Chains A and B, each alone.
Chain A
């Protein structure tokens, strides 16, 4: 069957092979949490571990909110819905990494997290690392928290 060179250039089989190779190679080589858009992002629920961790914000003071004692943002009705967003939770994780590694002088993820969570309010808060056993924390609210840093927003 004769084919012109132009047809060979646009052979879909080659494109499929290339994309398949990218998906498989990137997918298998990368570790959980690493992503290469749009080829690799497939490590959801791949690790379990005995002790789970999350990053939260413990609010000490916040304009427009009643905060009697330092309270986790997830326990404040006005802020809790933000945690339903996986985007916000990931930004918080990246903010915590930024703080631990002192890797971003501009505080890119801090700004993103504050923008989403506090929406321009002036607040003071602690970034905390929380360790928990999932079923126990869900049933009894048991967890241990470690402070990663104290911050103040530049809001109103």
Chain B
């Protein structure tokens, strides 16, 4: 049984990377793009470190903590001191990674302190998941190859492909969670996210829990509540976009339009409900300028392009 599973897993992984290699273009243009995107990624990390520092220092004034596992140690140390140390070290390590993106130590340090920073910011009762994909991307990029490695080109492009797939898999999980939630709601005879009025109800519920009055909502939100059926195609479209997201990088022709559609979905959520996924949007923009889906695949393969 175990050997059968192991063989199936191996074949699945071989198939995954074979399809990935077919979707990538192993040429100089792609590798140059990957290197630039890596620098841009760490510049963005530095920006996140800078913009998150005031929030960390503000949270440090709180007296009650609900620590996530990466910062469980903070409960035993002074919160203000820990917060200051994490904010500073994330800033310094991300700056180091900007100037020395080829150094695995710099990238690993940056990933570690980003994990600590995001974990501490989310250790006060609620996890906001806007920065999760950034953390996952930083972990993958720790393992970028050395630039004198014989497999530098292949592994660099595969790493960026991996960042893309992992980030987009989170959308697929979100989409499938909605399908599962809809199945449960329908089974119980409740209204589900597939209902024509679903978006209007979600907007209204969000406004109520936030303590907003009807006249405080954006004109777009007001219109969708007044004419609920207008929101139906957007709701179904968003679910379809999320569910299929993880497959998009394997099809270069649809990859960028898919990213643009996800960006449009985030913009819609912002303008209709006022919910910002700023860091997730930033990562989508980084992926947009990244080396995945740069053009149609050529005959160049991973095997003959060291």
Contact = CB atoms under 8 A, between A and B. Distances in A.
A52 B225 CA distance: 16
Nearest to B198: A48
Contacts of B178: 45-46
Interface centre among B172, B181, B306 (most CB of A within 10 A): B181
Contacts of B70: 37
A112 B124 contact: yes
Interface stretch (A58-66, A121-129, A132-140, A148-156): A132-140
B306 A137 contact: no
Contacts of A35: 127, 129
Contacts, number: 196
A18 to B, nearest CB: 9
A16 B202 contact: no
A87 B195 CA distance: 28
B126 A86 contact: yes
Nearest to B12: A17
A138 B190 contact: no
B149 A28 contact: no
Given A3-B150, A16-B162, A38 B184 contact: no
B208 A138 contact: yes
A19 B166 contact: yes
A134 B173 contact: no
A38 B115 CA distance: 8
B73 interface: no
Interface in A1-31: 1-3, 7, 10-13, 15-17, 19-20, 23-24, 27-28
A135 B200 contact: yes
Interface of A: 1-3, 7, 10-13, 15-17, 19-20, 23-24, 27-28, 32, 35, 37-50, 52, 54, 74-75, 80, 83-84, 86-91, 94, 108-109, 111-112, 115, 132, 134-135, 137-139
22 contacts: A7-B145, A10-B104, A12-B143, A12-B159, A16-B162, A16-B163, A17-B13, A19-B136, A24-B173, A35-B129, A37-B127, A37-B132, A38-B118, A39-B132, A46-B181, A47-B184, A47-B193, A49-B188, A86-B128, A87-B124, A89-B209, A112-B124
Interface of B: 13, 16-17, 62-64, 66, 68-70, 104, 115, 118-119, 122, 124-129, 132, 135-136, 139-140, 142-145, 149-151, 155, 158-159, 161-163, 165-166, 169-174, 176-178, 180-182, 184-185, 188, 190-193, 195, 198, 200-202, 204-205, 207-211, 213-214, 225, 303, 306
Given A15-B162, A23-B173, A134-B202, 13 more contacts: A3-B151, A13-B162, A16-B158, A32-B177, A37-B70, A48-B181, A48-B191, A49-B190, A49-B191, A86-B126, A111-B64, A112-B62, A112-B125
